[in-house]
Homo-oligomer: A and B are copies of this chain.
Amino acid sequence: MTIAYYKILSSPQVRPYLFQARFGLEREGHRVDAVGHLSGLNHPAALGSRNFHPYLQTDFSETQLEAITPVFEDSKHALQFMEALHDVMIRSLEQGELLWSQSMPPALPENESDIRLANLEKKEDVLYREGLAEKYGKRKQMVSGIHYNFEFGKDLLQAMWKQQQMVDFQTFKSEIYMKLSRQYLRYMWLITYCLGGSPRANAGFFTDKAEKPKEPVRSIRNSKFGYRNTSDIFVSYRNLEQYYEDLHTYVKTGALSEMKEFYSAVRLRGGKRAEELLDVGVQYVEFRNFDLNPFVRVGMDEDTARFVHLFALYLIYKEEEEAPEAAQRLGYEINDAVALENSLEKTAYFNEGKLFFAQMRTFAQNLDFSKDDLALIDKFAQMLEKPETTMAGQMELAFRQNKTFALDLSRQYRQQSYKRPFQLAGFTHLELSTQNLLFDAIQKGLKVEVLDEHDQMVALSYKSHREIIEKGNMTSKDSMVAYAVMENKVVTKKLLNRVHLNTPQGQEFSDLETAQAAFPLFETTSIVVKPKSTNYGLGISIFKQPATQEQFYKALEIAFQEDKEVLVERFVSGTEYRFFVLDGKTRAVLRRDAAHVIGDGVSTISQLVAQKNENPLRGHNHRFPLEKIQITATEKLMLDVQGYTEQSIPVKDVKVNLRENSNVSTGGDSIDVTDEMPEIYKNIAEKAAEALQVKITGVDILIEDLNDSLGEKYSIIEANFNPAMLFHLYPLKGKGRRVTMDVLQFLFPEIFA
């Protein structure tokens, strides 16, 4: 089959889809202890079972974690997900444990039997590993890498196919992947040259000192000392049938235990099992020759991920040598040689490399690749001239500076993972509650997918059980009408009063004039003026001392800006607590102190606010556990009530409230009091949730005196349908409560069984 690849790739029907592709990554890496020895601990207990975990598995040995991303349409997204997996993996390690940053294993125990095989539950998985240990030795199996799964876009393949129409689509598609694979094997030495990342072995890898190559090399892992099949195994990539036939024969004769034991730099992937390949055709390819890049936490950087994509495109364009098997053998030969070259010296294949990159650049220019892509090709091309800029070169330079640079990097990545423990790398564009939920979901082994970033809508699934969750805890367990009830403070009160729960007494107004006219009713009492349905405490004014008419009017105006209906309620004194109730049980209780400053006798209120806002836990838009205090009309009104302006200088140690409502979202402080809260009030919150027929809610209760054992002097202020979780997870003071995990356990009891 002769396909005019250039014509095809440059056709106007194909060009719009040229970069359409799908990517997935698999990264292996060892757990090590604080001094860089293989960890003696078992697979992290915090992670969901290896029986089903879709993302976090164990490779050959018990210490060898494997992180697997789903498939994405952009390699950056695969890397972002890999970042998330690293946050989860590393934060799931025991204290002192690290994730080893290099492909070459850390110093190995003298006695090979001290290397523990992965302690998996399935018998066949254990037997397979025992077979490998027997055949290849355990030490080689300890080398780690990163696999790059690559699939051409559906529209791209269709468009390309329509340009030739000589064979049916499946045959065409398989042939595209066969060519890609042949060419990849022929030119993979360029990857080994540029991206080889195993220049030196650590103690215990080479047991036979005589065998050990002269270090630094470029890639022990990609050399004959790496993890590969015995030299008698040769599988032809001439065409799919031949490939399958060869593999099949090796399995039949017992040279390979099963097809997946074939360790090529390119593995053809079809159906779920290797055996289905011939029936379904090639669906995608797995490039397996990438050493870990120790300079980035996830083992591969964005430039590399993009370069491999461009490399693949060029490879299917580039004309092939005539005899496929000969070319394949040549590719192996050059790669083997380059792998063991000195990492700080130029390669013997410099000229072939120069020519390759020059032609690749021309190809890229002709197809109008972006400037960034052209620069990327240049960056890799330049490595031919400057071996010290190759990955192996850089590693060797780092090694000469610091013999333990790999361990130091591992430590650094652990610190990085804990720098903002309330975030999940790769998902920082989402709200924190959703980030935390996703963290827990990934940790426990649920499949996660962001359905809509704007609405914070994610899908979680386990087997055929799928749950969609909006904003961290709006789930299928709560009804549309429970939502509507909680949105409606009047109905909420009605339902609570019916089960004899206390709520503030008050009156509802739907126009400003009537509300203003009602001033005499409230002239002598403490009151709260608030919009009927809103969250985050917006538009709420509280008057512990009876308001003046002017203050009352102003408060009404503010409230009417938020809603068409406004409530004026009797103010109940006491402290407000937030009860996080889930599935009938109070999971966390928080006290929130209203935004305030404490005078120092020198600074103005403005300045005190600015100082308080410097706390690194405070930020904006709910992206931090606490919000910065802002001075809006509501704060100004509250200052006015107390006789202050922003420029007043409060006396030392005097507390000046800036809000009367204590929502964290308006600058309040958060203090966990779950353990201290008497059962009686937890029961009240639970009874409220039951009366409202709601499964997940945040119940705000004003309690006059926690020590009042009768539990009578309280008032339920409201029940919130999408209660904030972050301040329970990361309170300013007190113990954090992992309510996101409670949500997951509620939704997926089967994985917590």
Contacts and interface: CB of A to CB of B under 8 A. Distances in A.
A455 B693 contact: no
Contact of A491 (B452, B475, B494): B452
Contact of A474 (B452, B484, B490): B484
Given A468-B485, A485-B468, A565 B480 contact: no
A108 interface: no
Nearest to A508: B454
Interface residue tally on A, bucketed by range: 20 to 34
A488 interface: yes
Given A479-B476, A479-B479, A490 B452 contact: yes
Contacts of A334: none
A169 to B, nearest CB: 19
Interface string A495-510: 0000000000000001
A482 interface: yes
Interface in A463-481: 467-470, 474-481
Given A477-B479, A480-B480, A481-B469, A457 B693 contact: no
Nearest to A494: B451
B721 A491 contact: no
A693 B454 contact: no
Contacts of A721: 480
A369 interface: no
A483 interface: yes
A475 B485 contact: no
A494 B450 CA distance: 11
B455 A488 contact: yes
A451 B693 contact: no
Contact of A488 (B457, B467, B477): B457
Per assembly, the copies of the chain total: 2
A36 B103 CA distance: 99
Contacts of A483: 480, 483
B491 A480 contact: no
A431 to B, nearest CB: 14
A475 B480 contact: yes
A28 to B, nearest CB: 31
Contacts of A478: 479-481
A457 B510 CA distance: 17
A492 to B, nearest CB: 10
Contact of A457 (B455, B474, B477, B491): B491
A469 B481 CA distance: 6
Nearest to A722: B480
A139 to B, nearest CB: 45
A744 B485 CA distance: 19
A694 to B, nearest CB: 9
Contacts of A468: 481, 484-485, 491, 693
Contacts of A455: 484, 487-488, 491
B481 A470 contact: yes
B482 A451 contact: no
A744 to B, nearest CB: 15
Contact of A479 (B454, B480, B487, B494): B480
A693 B451 CA distance: 15
Contacts of A467: 481
A700 to B, nearest CB: 19
Interface in A326-347: none
A475 B693 CA distance: 12
Counting chain B CB atoms within 10 Å of each CB, the highest count among A467, A475, A485, A490 belongs to: A485
6 contacts: A451-B488, A454-B565, A455-B484, A457-B491, A476-B481, A479-B480
- By Cβ-Cβ distance, the 6 closest A-B pairs, closest first, are A476-B479, A470-B484, A478-B480, A451-B491, A480-B483, A474-B480
Interface of A: 451-452, 454-455, 457, 467-470, 474-485, 487-488, 490-491, 494, 510, 565, 693, 721
Given A476-B693, A478-B480, 10 more contacts: A451-B488, A457-B485, A467-B481, A468-B484, A470-B480, A470-B481, A470-B484, A476-B481, A478-B479, A480-B480
